[in-house]
Amino acid sequence: MFELASVEYEDKRVSEEEWADMKAKPGFGQLPVLEIDGKEIPQSRAIYRYVARKHGFYPSDDWGHALVEVVLETVRDFDPEVSRFFSQTDSTKREEIRKEFIDKGSNKYLDNIEKLLKNTNGGTGWFVGEKISLADILVFYLIYDVIPSLLGKEPGTFDLSNHELLHAFMKRFKSEPKISSWLGKRPKTPF
Protein backbone atom coordinates (compact mmCIF):
# COMPACT_ATOMS: atom_id res chain seq x y z
CA MET A 1 0.00 0.00 0.00
CA PHE A 2 2.87 2.39 0.76
CA GLU A 3 4.31 1.65 -2.68
CA LEU A 4 0.99 2.12 -4.45
CA ALA A 5 0.26 5.33 -2.55
CA SER A 6 3.85 6.62 -2.99
CA VAL A 7 4.28 7.00 0.75
CA GLU A 8 7.83 7.05 2.11
CA TYR A 9 8.54 4.17 4.46
CA GLU A 10 11.28 1.92 5.75
CA ASP A 11 10.79 -1.82 5.24
CA LYS A 12 12.84 -3.21 8.09
CA ARG A 13 13.43 -6.96 8.01
CA VAL A 14 15.25 -8.49 10.98
CA SER A 15 18.03 -11.05 11.12
CA GLU A 16 17.86 -14.07 13.46
CA GLU A 17 20.16 -12.22 15.93
CA GLU A 18 18.12 -9.02 15.87
CA TRP A 19 14.98 -11.09 16.35
CA ALA A 20 16.36 -12.77 19.48
CA ASP A 21 17.31 -9.33 20.83
CA MET A 22 13.89 -7.88 20.08
CA LYS A 23 12.14 -10.74 21.81
CA ALA A 24 14.28 -10.33 24.92
CA LYS A 25 13.29 -6.66 25.25
CA PRO A 26 9.93 -5.48 26.62
CA GLY A 27 7.42 -5.19 23.76
CA PHE A 28 5.07 -7.39 21.79
CA GLY A 29 7.56 -10.18 20.98
CA GLN A 30 5.84 -10.52 17.62
CA LEU A 31 6.21 -9.18 14.11
CA PRO A 32 5.01 -7.35 12.13
CA VAL A 33 5.01 -4.04 13.94
CA LEU A 34 4.20 -0.70 12.31
CA GLU A 35 5.97 2.34 13.73
CA ILE A 36 4.52 5.75 12.99
CA ASP A 37 5.77 8.97 14.60
CA GLY A 38 7.48 7.01 17.39
CA LYS A 39 4.36 4.97 18.21
CA GLU A 40 4.07 1.26 17.49
CA ILE A 41 1.16 -1.03 16.64
CA PRO A 42 1.37 -4.82 16.27
CA GLN A 43 -1.04 -7.28 14.57
CA SER A 44 -0.94 -7.51 10.78
CA ARG A 45 -4.70 -7.11 10.30
CA ALA A 46 -4.88 -4.02 12.50
CA ILE A 47 -1.89 -2.62 10.61
CA TYR A 48 -3.20 -3.20 7.10
CA ARG A 49 -6.66 -1.90 7.91
CA TYR A 50 -5.16 1.24 9.44
CA VAL A 51 -2.90 1.83 6.44
CA ALA A 52 -5.78 1.13 4.05
CA ARG A 53 -8.03 3.67 5.78
CA LYS A 54 -5.28 6.27 5.89
CA HIS A 55 -4.19 5.93 2.26
CA GLY A 56 -7.45 5.39 0.38
CA PHE A 57 -7.63 1.61 -0.04
CA TYR A 58 -11.20 1.39 1.28
CA PRO A 59 -14.12 2.79 -0.74
CA SER A 60 -15.58 5.87 0.91
CA ASP A 61 -19.13 4.46 1.19
CA ASP A 62 -20.24 1.99 3.89
CA TRP A 63 -21.47 -0.58 1.37
CA GLY A 64 -18.16 -0.59 -0.52
CA HIS A 65 -16.35 -0.86 2.81
CA ALA A 66 -18.46 -3.90 3.73
CA LEU A 67 -17.73 -5.53 0.35
CA VAL A 68 -14.00 -5.14 0.96
CA GLU A 69 -14.45 -6.77 4.38
CA VAL A 70 -16.29 -9.68 2.73
CA VAL A 71 -13.26 -10.33 0.52
CA LEU A 72 -10.85 -10.03 3.47
CA GLU A 73 -12.87 -12.53 5.50
CA THR A 74 -13.03 -14.92 2.53
CA VAL A 75 -9.26 -14.72 2.22
CA ARG A 76 -9.09 -15.39 5.95
CA ASP A 77 -10.92 -18.68 5.44
CA PHE A 78 -7.53 -19.98 4.31
CA ASP A 79 -6.01 -19.38 7.74
CA PRO A 80 -6.79 -22.76 9.31
CA GLU A 81 -5.13 -24.45 6.32
CA VAL A 82 -2.08 -22.25 6.62
CA SER A 83 -1.78 -22.76 10.43
CA ARG A 84 -2.35 -26.50 10.10
CA PHE A 85 0.51 -26.67 7.62
CA PHE A 86 3.04 -24.42 9.35
CA SER A 87 2.40 -25.83 12.84
CA GLN A 88 3.16 -29.37 11.61
CA THR A 89 6.77 -30.27 12.39
CA ASP A 90 6.68 -33.84 11.10
CA SER A 91 7.81 -33.64 7.46
CA THR A 92 5.79 -36.68 6.30
CA LYS A 93 2.59 -35.24 7.78
CA ARG A 94 3.45 -31.87 6.27
CA GLU A 95 3.73 -33.51 2.87
CA GLU A 96 0.30 -35.14 3.35
CA ILE A 97 -1.26 -31.78 4.17
CA ARG A 98 0.45 -30.20 1.17
CA LYS A 99 -0.90 -32.90 -1.13
CA GLU A 100 -4.39 -32.72 0.31
CA PHE A 101 -4.30 -28.96 -0.16
CA ILE A 102 -3.31 -29.23 -3.81
CA ASP A 103 -5.86 -31.97 -4.49
CA LYS A 104 -8.93 -30.45 -2.87
CA GLY A 105 -8.46 -27.62 -0.37
CA SER A 106 -7.35 -24.77 -2.52
CA ASN A 107 -10.12 -25.03 -5.06
CA LYS A 108 -12.98 -24.59 -2.62
CA TYR A 109 -11.47 -21.38 -1.26
CA LEU A 110 -10.42 -20.04 -4.64
CA ASP A 111 -13.89 -20.73 -6.06
CA ASN A 112 -15.36 -18.50 -3.37
CA ILE A 113 -12.85 -15.74 -4.03
CA GLU A 114 -13.48 -15.92 -7.76
CA LYS A 115 -17.25 -15.63 -7.21
CA LEU A 116 -16.65 -12.38 -5.34
CA LEU A 117 -14.45 -11.07 -8.15
CA LYS A 118 -17.19 -11.84 -10.66
CA ASN A 119 -19.67 -9.66 -8.73
CA THR A 120 -17.95 -6.47 -9.92
CA ASN A 121 -17.89 -5.79 -13.66
CA GLY A 122 -18.14 -9.53 -14.37
CA GLY A 123 -14.67 -10.04 -12.89
CA THR A 124 -12.83 -7.97 -15.48
CA GLY A 125 -11.53 -5.30 -13.10
CA TRP A 126 -10.99 -4.99 -9.36
CA PHE A 127 -12.80 -6.73 -6.53
CA VAL A 128 -14.73 -3.69 -5.31
CA GLY A 129 -15.48 -0.52 -7.26
CA GLU A 130 -13.32 0.94 -9.99
CA LYS A 131 -9.97 1.17 -8.25
CA ILE A 132 -7.56 -1.03 -6.33
CA SER A 133 -8.63 -1.61 -2.74
CA LEU A 134 -7.31 -3.61 0.20
CA ALA A 135 -9.38 -6.52 -1.16
CA ASP A 136 -7.25 -6.76 -4.33
CA ILE A 137 -4.03 -6.45 -2.35
CA LEU A 138 -4.91 -9.26 0.06
CA VAL A 139 -6.07 -11.65 -2.67
CA PHE A 140 -2.91 -10.97 -4.64
CA TYR A 141 -0.76 -11.58 -1.55
CA LEU A 142 -2.58 -14.84 -0.80
CA ILE A 143 -2.15 -16.25 -4.30
CA TYR A 144 1.24 -14.76 -5.11
CA ASP A 145 3.04 -15.38 -1.82
CA VAL A 146 1.12 -17.41 0.77
CA ILE A 147 -0.13 -20.36 -1.30
CA PRO A 148 3.21 -20.97 -3.09
CA SER A 149 5.03 -20.84 0.24
CA LEU A 150 2.63 -23.51 1.51
CA LEU A 151 3.41 -25.63 -1.52
CA GLY A 152 7.17 -25.10 -1.23
CA LYS A 153 7.25 -23.10 -4.47
CA GLU A 154 8.57 -19.73 -5.58
CA PRO A 155 6.26 -16.68 -5.32
CA GLY A 156 3.94 -16.19 -8.27
CA THR A 157 4.11 -19.79 -9.49
CA PHE A 158 0.70 -21.08 -8.39
CA ASP A 159 -1.20 -22.59 -11.32
CA LEU A 160 -4.56 -20.86 -11.74
CA SER A 161 -5.59 -22.55 -14.98
CA ASN A 162 -8.85 -23.68 -13.30
CA HIS A 163 -9.67 -20.11 -12.34
CA GLU A 164 -9.56 -18.00 -15.45
CA LEU A 165 -10.92 -14.83 -13.91
CA LEU A 166 -8.51 -14.99 -11.00
CA HIS A 167 -5.68 -15.76 -13.39
CA ALA A 168 -6.48 -12.63 -15.41
CA PHE A 169 -6.86 -10.62 -12.21
CA MET A 170 -3.38 -11.68 -11.03
CA LYS A 171 -1.87 -10.61 -14.36
CA ARG A 172 -3.73 -7.30 -14.24
CA PHE A 173 -2.63 -6.53 -10.69
CA LYS A 174 0.95 -7.60 -11.29
CA SER A 175 1.27 -5.39 -14.33
CA GLU A 176 0.36 -2.26 -12.36
CA PRO A 177 3.66 -0.32 -12.71
CA LYS A 178 4.14 0.29 -8.97
CA ILE A 179 3.46 -3.37 -8.20
CA SER A 180 5.79 -4.80 -10.81
CA SER A 181 8.50 -2.41 -9.68
CA TRP A 182 7.97 -3.45 -6.03
CA LEU A 183 8.06 -7.14 -6.90
CA GLY A 184 11.35 -6.58 -8.70
CA LYS A 185 13.04 -4.78 -5.84
CA ARG A 186 11.53 -6.22 -2.64
CA PRO A 187 13.91 -7.96 -0.24
CA LYS A 188 13.95 -11.75 -0.47
CA THR A 189 13.16 -13.01 3.03
CA PRO A 190 10.95 -15.90 4.18
CA PHE A 191 8.38 -13.48 5.72
Ligand X SMILES: N[C@@H](CCC(=O)N[C@@H](CS)C(=O)NCC(=O)O)C(=O)O
Which parts of this chain interact with ligand X (CB under 6 A)? 29-32, 43-45, 191
Distance in Å, CB of 31 to ligand X, minimum: 5
Per residue, what are the HEC states of the chain? CCCCCCCCCCCCCCCHHHHHHHHHCCCCCCCCEEEECCEEEECHHHHHHHHHHHCCCCCCCHHHHHHHHHHHHHHHCCHHHHHHHHCCCCHHHHHHHHHHHHHHHHHHHHHHHHHHHHCCHHHCCCCCCCCCCHHHHHHHHHHHHHHHHHCCCCCCCCCCCCCHHHHHHHHHHHCCHHHHHHHHHCCCCCC
The residue among 43 and 107 lying less far from ligand X, judged by its C-beta, is 43
The residue among 31 and 151 lying less far from ligand X, judged by its C-beta, is 31
Distance in Å, CB of 45 to ligand X, minimum: 6
The residue among 42 and 125 lying less far from ligand X, judged by its C-beta, is 42
Distance in Å, CB of 82 to ligand X, minimum: 11
Distance in Å, CB of 61 to ligand X, minimum: 27
